[in-house]
């Protein structure tokens, strides 16, 4: 195992003169700086309804190990020992999900030498996992191959000690730069069927919490925050239902056109997302009762995100590592920001995170080709589109969480995977991914398609099967937002 890693890292050399001129690799090398952070590939499971869908009996470790296994299957020439980290976003697992994630990595065949961590930023956990790994890559934190040498008198596990003693000496002692493979996996997972919200009540000093208005507001149910936004900003039930209907229509059209196939990893015989309703109508949505404020509310099960099960994962690397390892290239990770908002209206998060992100990137709304904004509730999604003055045709062109589902820890990673594949398919340049966060935050990330060419975009002819184009022609959101 370790001999293979030693041989592999010794050959991490790139000869730029031997690269073909004028092809996609040449174009990518010219536009990417060597220390850029890139996503080499991204996959996800289908997303299924919690408690009633195809994954209702699957635990988080099973979902997570599935995508981790697939990532490494797609890079068979890279030893698993070259991975510097597996970072997993998850929300509902006991103990922060650390044991679950480590177990999932072992189930996927990862060696013990690959570290695993979990992170929880509520709905943006999967996005935060990518951002944390990207930061570690930029700072060159991963020094693959530098292992601890056990003392011969150590009481360490005999099997582990035996492995260490058989390792090539250069892996134990060598601190040369050729062992700095900046390569890691970020993932997100949630089984909302097997992990309950009811188990997540904070253990705090409630007397102290009640003395702080903001601290107490962190316990406001998410549905009430949706109602607060609808009331404060004059968003009607009819507008929310129309938004939900369009989300299902776009997702259904994308699924039928096969646009999710590149990103979905089938699990057993489950190959498509289970929450999309092709039979959804304005009438059926209007018939649903409000949930959180029965007499005066606007938020229903139909215009809210679905509780769901699913997992997603991406492989990240520095650009120089990607070149040296001959890895594929999906997109470039450019910028990430998180902002705070009032907990009572936590859903406004993207409306404040996206401007901060664009300011950091020196871009404007007009520069962005697609926005993937998590649809926690139709009320907050409508507010964000209005507040930012976004073209509705650019927002969630393949539908959002109202139709696809929202497995909490998975959603941030899933949105990046969907956004990246969309940019490549359409030959577009910039995509923004953003989510609101429970307790009052907003997170947003900017990714770039390195294969984008302005000439190709200008000459590209839209086809009738393109979901984005058809959604512009008949879009009930355009007149309302």
pLDDT in tens, 111-165: 999 999 999 999 999 999 999 999 999 998 886 543 333 344 433 333 333 333 3
Q: What is the pLDDT of residues 342-378, one digit of tens each?
A: 999 999 999 999 999 999 999 999 999 999 999 999 9
Taking the C-alpha atoms of residue 457 and residue 479, their distance in angstroms, rounded to an integer, is 27
Q: Which two tokens stand for residue 231?
A: 């009331």
**What average pLDDT does this structure show over 165-177?**
37
Contact 443, 357 (CB under 8 A): no
Helix (H) / strand (E) element for 81: namely: none
Asked if the model's pLDDT at residue 464 lies above 90, the reply is: no
Asked if the model's pLDDT at residue 100 lies above 90, the reply is: yes
* Number of helical (H) and strand (E) elements in the chain, helices listed first: 19, 10
Half-sphere exposure of 320 (CA within 13 A, CB side): 14
Contact 342, 352 (CB under 8 A): no
Taking the C-alpha atoms of residue 426 and residue 424, their distance in angstroms, rounded to an integer, is 6
Burial, 36: exposed, middle or buried (Cβ in 10 Å; 0-12, 13-18, 19+)?
buried
Residue whose pair of structure tokens reads 């947003």 in the numeric block: 444
**What average pLDDT does this structure show over 37-50?**
98
Higher pLDDT residue, 13 or 392? 392
Q: Which residues contact 104 (CB under 8 A, 6 or more apart)?
A: 60, 61, 62, 64, 65, 68, 88, 189
Half-sphere exposure of 336 (CA within 13 A, CB side): 18
Question: How is 320-360 classified by DSSP, letter by letter?
Answer: HHHHHHT----EEEEEEEEEE--GGGGGGHHHHHHHHHHHH
Q: What angle do CA 305, 298, 472 make, to 5 degrees?
A: 60
Burial, 122: exposed, middle or buried (Cβ in 10 Å; 0-12, 13-18, 19+)?
buried
Considering only the C-alpha atoms of the chain, give the largest distance between any 2 of them, rounded to a whole number of Å.
75
**What average pLDDT does this structure show over 15-43?**
63
Q: Which two tokens stand for residue 241?
A: 């239902």
Closest CA to 246 of 285, 192, 214, 219: 285
Closest CA to 313 of 123, 69, 93, 100: 69
Residue 158 has what pLDDT?
36
Catalytic residue list: 123, 406, 436
Q: What is the pLDDT of residues 431-455, one digit of tens each?
A: 999 999 999 999 999 999 999 976 5
Residue 6 has what pLDDT?
52
Burial, 29: exposed, middle or buried (Cβ in 10 Å; 0-12, 13-18, 19+)?
middle
Dihedral pair phi/psi, residue 444, rounded to 5°: -150, 145
- Place 4 in a pLDDT band, splitting at 50, 70 and 90: low
**What average pLDDT does this structure show over 86-112?**
96
Q: Pinpoint the alpha helices (H) of 405-473.
A: 408-426, 454-459, 467-473
- Place 31 in a pLDDT band, splitting at 50, 70 and 90: low
Q: Which two tokens stand for residue 330?
A: 């999906």
C-alpha pair distances (Å), 99 with each of 94, 96, 445, 466: 9, 8, 28, 43
Would you list the domain boundaries of the chain? Answer: 2-191
Asked if the model's pLDDT at residue 166 lies above 50, the reply is: no
Q: Which residues contact 203 (CB under 8 A, 6 or more apart)?
A: none
Residue 457 has what pLDDT?
46
Residue 144 has what pLDDT?
56
Half-sphere exposure of 228 (CA within 13 A, CB side): 14
Specify the DSSP class assigned to residue 279.
T
Average the pLDDT over each of 14-18, 37-41, 59-63, 368-372 and give the range with the smallest value: 14-18
Q: Which residues contact 295 (CB under 8 A, 6 or more apart)?
A: none
Asked if the model's pLDDT at residue 291 lies above 60, the reply is: yes
Residue 250 has what pLDDT?
98
Q: What angle do CA 96, 97, 101 make, to 5 degrees?
A: 145
Q: Which residues contact 257 (CB under 8 A, 6 or more apart)?
A: 465, 466, 467
Residue 3 has what pLDDT?
56
Average model confidence (pLDDT) for the chain?
A: 85
**What average pLDDT does this structure show over 300-310?**
97
CATH number for the domain running over 2-191: 3.40.47.10
- Strand, coil or helix: 463: coil
Asked if the model's pLDDT at residue 54 lies above 50, the reply is: yes
Taking the C-alpha atoms of residue 61 and residue 73, their distance in angstroms, rounded to an integer, is 18
- Strand, coil or helix: 376: coil
Residue whose pair of structure tokens reads 């493979």 in the numeric block: 181
Prediction pTM value: 0.85
Residue 187 has what pLDDT?
98
């Amino acid at each position: 195992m370790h001999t293979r890693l030693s041989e592999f890292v010794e050959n991490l050399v790139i000869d730029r003169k031997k690269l073909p001129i004028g092809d996609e690799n040449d174009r990518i090398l010219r536009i990417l700086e060597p220390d850029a952070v890139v996503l080499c590939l991204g996959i996800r499971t289908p997303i299924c309804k919690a408690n009633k869908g195809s994954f209702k009996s699957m635990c988080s470790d099973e979902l997570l190990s599935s995508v981790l296994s697939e990532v490494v299957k797609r890079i068979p020439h890279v030893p698993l020992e070259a991975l510097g980290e597996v970072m997993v976003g998850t929300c509902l697992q006991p103990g922060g999900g650390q044991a679950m994630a480590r177990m999932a990595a072992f189930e996927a065949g990862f060696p013990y030498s690959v570290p695993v961590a979990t992170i929880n930023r509520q709905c943006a956990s999967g996005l935060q996992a990518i951002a944390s790994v990207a930061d570690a890559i930029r700072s060159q934190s991963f020094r693959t191959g530098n292992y601890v040498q056990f003392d011969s008198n150590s009481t360490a596990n005999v099997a582990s000690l035996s492995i260490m003693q058989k390792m090539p000496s250069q892996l134990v002692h060598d601190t040369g730069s050729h062992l700095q493979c900046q390569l890691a996996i970020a993932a997100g997972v949630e089984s909302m069927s097997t992990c309950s919200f009811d188990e997540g009540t904070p253990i705090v000093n409630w007397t102290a919490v009640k003395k702080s208005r903001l601290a107490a507001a962190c316990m406001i149910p998410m549905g009430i925050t949706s109602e607060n936004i609808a009331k404060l900003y004059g968003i009607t039930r009819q507008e929310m239902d129309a938004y939900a209907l369009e989300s299902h229509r776009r997702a259904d059209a994308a699924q039928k056109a096969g646009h999710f196939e590149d990103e979905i990893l089938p699990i057993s015989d489950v190959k498509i997302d289970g929450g999309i309703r092709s039979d959804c109508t304005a009438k059926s949505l209007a018939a649903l009762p409000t949930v959180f404020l029965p007499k005066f509310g606007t938020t229903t099960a139909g215009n809210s995100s679905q509780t769901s099960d699913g997992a997603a994962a991406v492989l990240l690397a520095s650009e120089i590592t990607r070149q040296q390892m001959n890895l594929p290239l999906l997109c470039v990770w450019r910028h990430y920001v998180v902002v705070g908002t009032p907990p009572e209206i936590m859903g406004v998060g993207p409306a404040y995170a996206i401007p901060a992100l664009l300011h950091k990137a020196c871009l404007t709304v007009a520069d962005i080709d697609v926005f993937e904004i998590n649809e926690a509730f139709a009320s907050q999604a409508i507010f964000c589109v209005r507040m930012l003055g976004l073209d509705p045709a650019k927002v969630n062109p393949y539908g959002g969480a109202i139709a696809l589902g929202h497995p909490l820890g998975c959603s941030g990673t899933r949105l990046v995977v969907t956004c990246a594949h969309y940019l490549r398919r359409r030959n577009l340049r910039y995509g923004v991914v953003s989510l609101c966060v429970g307790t009052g935050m907003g997170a947003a990330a900017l990714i770039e398609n390195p294969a984008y060419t302005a000439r190709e975009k200008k000459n590209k002819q839209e086809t009738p099967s393109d979901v984005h184009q058809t959604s512009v022609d008949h879009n009930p959101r355009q007149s309302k937002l």
